[in-house]
Amino acid sequence: MTLSQLLAGQSGLIQSLTQNNHFNDRLSALGIKKNKIIKILRKATFGGPLHLQIGTTELMVRQLIAKEIIISPIKN
Amino acid sequence: MKKIVLIGMPNTGKSTFFNRLSGSSVRVGNWPGVTVDLYSIKTLINGNLTELIDLPGIYDLNGYSEDEEIVKNFINNNKIDQIFFILNSTQIDRQLELAIKIQKLGIPVLILVNMIDEAKSLGISYNFPEMEKMLGCPVLPISAKYGQGMEHLNQKLNQNRSIPKKNIDGLNDQDIAQKIYHKTVEMPAILNDQKTQILDNIFLHPWLGIPLFLLIILTLFQIIFTLGAPIQESMGNLFSYLHINYLENIFFNSPPMLKSFLLDGLYAGITTVAAFVPIIIIFFFVMTVVEDSGYFSRAAFLMDKMMEKIGLDGRGFVMMLMGYGCNVPALMGTKIMRSKNLRFLTMLVIPFSLCSARLQVFLFIIFSFFSGLYGALILFCLYLLSFCSIFITAIIFKQQYSDIEPLVLELPPYRFPTLKQMVIRGWQEVKHFLNRATKFIVIGVIAVWVLTYFPSEYPIASQQTYAGQIGLFFEPIFKPIGIDQMLVIALIFGFIAKEILIGALAIIFGFEGQALASYLSEIFTNGQAISFMIFTLIYTPCVSTIATLHNESKDIKLTIISITWSLLLAWIASFIFYQSYQYFFYN
């Protein structure tokens, strides 16, 4: 499933990133990499961006990108 | 002289470190290989006079983003003796990899592990001696904000060559970085920044978040303008006092043309520039708090969805709102957007924000023509029109300035900036504005003086002057929107600053204050008045805005687009209004 399908409060293990290599370089510099655990802290209303946590870093990412990131959900 | 560059990812406290070393002796300059301005200082480091250059924050060295390109070109085109690589100690897990890549450039590197105070309070512990051995370069833990560790800088620089590098087996940089991280950093099992979590639950609340944001912005707005407006006003009074009581006397016997040039041209230009100084300082005082506190990225989070549709982002919304106070600092504030196209598109829409100077003009005209409820309604519609102009402009130009970088923003923990950080920021921005915009603004003001003064045998701003002739020439174009030759002259004055537009009307029609108000309402219809306000709202806000837009973008094309598009849109909007007004009221 994709990152955008996770609900607020849920976590997932990243399986693969986007189709765009340049995007992926940027994402991994910010800590979004394969085999990392990513948690959705909250989602903005009206389909706005996601508030994510990876390690000690908190980020906002738009749905468009989150739809391309494949994860496997982790049971809390 | 030695050259040291400062490299690091965004949000690592690079500028805080830079400002700590520099105080306020910062120089803005151009460098071989790069087209943007970079901040640098000359200071004594380790006994040598050293030039320290602050390079833009980067995520990688592959040159994908504009900033990465700048850093790469700078390194390739300048001889550099030393790199200070600064990283955020709480995010060391993902930042070590870039440190390793930087080391491969073959220039001595000192790694500064910044924000060590925050790492300590989170309970993160480090083995720095081991980290130095594994990386093969000196590592210094510091807190740039509070000054911890800075006293060991020289000692660490002397250590540069004496650290033998351990051999680490790794498939790639990422692998090596992970090995070093696991060997030398110990994170507590649960990282708990409760303060940030609690604040986020409030500020990012699903339905309280946005009202709270608007309330906060409104409050900041009030702070900026209740502090700024009286200062600006008293400066204005001081300048006119000097003008009337001293300068007039000094130049009493000078030839009239010289006197008019010096006082109405040069002096008016310089005072126009000076009037912006207090507002810029206070604005950036407040902006420093908003940005450094971490609230700015939260605001961006809240407003992002709405702005995404028109090709902008949440940060653009905040700057746009700030533009409703004054466009100039709002344009300067777009620097934080590192993607060029996104920044350009934001710069293109900011001048349509109905700033406080335009508000003054509208209040005067509305007061002259309309009463009570009607007046309030018209003012409300002008604000609405300002919003519409922003949206229309963004939608039209979003293809041309479409953002290619993915929008990924960090939401840093909530912090409070020190007073020193706020003062330095305010001072730097003012210096930047004065250095870069003064020439342009003074030239603009003098150009308007020439147009309204010559030929000099006629009264200033009369129909026979160049401005009047331009007005006459363009009258066929302005007639369909209800603006006559004399009002065109006023619009030419309005190009300098909207603050002087009412003064210009006074010069043109020979009445002041209440008399001017009643005279205007006699000779112009309500429709003409509204059409004039619509045009005033949308066309070029002032020469300072253009100067700032040009300096910040360094792009002549964008500047020209901004000017011509706003004139065109102003005409179209006034035309639609005035023609329908004529149709409904006179048919």
**pLDDT of amino acid B28:** 66
* Interface contact flag, A45 B206, Cβ < 8 Å: yes
Contact B526, B558 (CB under 8 A): no
CA distance A46 to chain B (A): 7
Chain A interface residues (partner B, CB cutoff 8 A): 18, 20, 22-23, 25-33, 41-42, 44-49, 51, 55-62, 65
Number of neighbouring beta carbons within 10 Å of residue B541: 28
* Interface contact flag, B304 A62, Cβ < 8 Å: yes
Count of H helices and E strands in chain B?
26, 10
Beta-strand ranges (E) seen in B303-445 are 408-410
CA distance B522 to chain A (A): 51
Q: CA B44 to CA B514: how far, in whole Å?
A: 62
pTM value is 0.87
Contact B521, B368 (CB under 8 A): yes
In angstroms, the first-to-last Cα distance of chain A is 17
The pLDDT of B386-406, averaged and rounded, is 91
Residue in A closest to B61 by C-alpha: A25
Tokens of B457: 């045998």
Q: Is the pLDDT of residue B522 over 70?
A: yes
A2 DSSP assignment: B
Residue A38 backbone phi and psi in degrees, to 5 = -125, 135
Rounded (10°) CA dihedral A39, A44, A50, A56? -50
pLDDT tens for B166-189 read: 777 777 888 999 999 999 999 887
To the nearest 10 degrees (0 to 180), the angle between helices B513-523 and B356-369 is 70
Q: CA B117 to CA B95: how far, in whole Å?
A: 18
| Residue of B174, B301, B308 lying closest to A51 (CB–CB) | B301
Q: CA B27 to CA B42: how far, in whole Å?
A: 9
Element containing residue B413 per DSSP (H, E):
none
| Residue of B64, B91, B407 lying closest to A57 (CB–CB) | B91
Q: Is B586 exposed, middle or buried (0-12, 13-18, 19+ CB in 10 A)?
A: exposed
The pLDDT of B425-451, averaged and rounded, is 84
The answer to whether B206 contacts chain A (CB < 8 Å) is yes
Look at B204-213, B219-228, B310-319 and tell me which has the smallest mean pLDDT. B219-228
Tokens of B544: 């300072």
pLDDT tens for B21-33 read: 876 566 766 677 6
Q: SS3 sequence, B514-560?
A: HHHHHHHHHHCCHHHHHHHHHHHHHCCCCHHHHHHHHHHHCCHHHHH
| Residue of B9, B64, B304 lying closest to A44 (CB–CB) | B304
The mean pLDDT value of chain B amounts to: 89
The pLDDT of B124-133, averaged and rounded, is 94
The pLDDT of B63-72, averaged and rounded, is 84
| Residue of A23, A33, A60 lying closest to B409 (CB–CB) | A60
Strand-pairing partners, residue B51, are: B3, B42
pLDDT tens for A10-49 read: 999 999 988 877 888 888 888 898 999 999 999 998 889 9
Q: CA A14 to CA A35: how far, in whole Å?
A: 5
| Residue of A28, A49, A58 lying closest to B410 (CB–CB) | A58
What length is written for chain B?
Answer: 587
The amino acid present at B99, given as its one-letter code, is: A
**pLDDT of amino acid B336:** 85
Q: CA A44 to CA B472: how far, in whole Å?
A: 54
The pLDDT of B556-564, averaged and rounded, is 97
pLDDT tens for B220-270 read: 888 887 888 788 888 888 988 998 899 888 888 888 888 888 888 888 888
Q: Assign B78 to helix, strand or coil.
A: coil
Tokens 């009570």: give the residue. B372
- B219-232: burial string, b at 16+ Cβ within 10 Å, e else: ebbeebbebbeeeb
Q: Which of A57, A61, A65, A69 to mutate to test the interface with B (most CBs of B within 10 A)?
A: A57
> Complex ipTM, two decimals?
0.95
* Interface contact flag, B302 A23, Cβ < 8 Å: no
* Interface contact flag, A60 B304, Cβ < 8 Å: yes
* Interface contact flag, A56 B191, Cβ < 8 Å: yes
**pLDDT of amino acid B5:** 95
Per-residue confidence band for B160, with pLDDT thresholds at 50, 70 and 90: low
Residue in B closest to A46 by C-alpha: B305
Per-residue confidence band for B161, with pLDDT thresholds at 50, 70 and 90: low
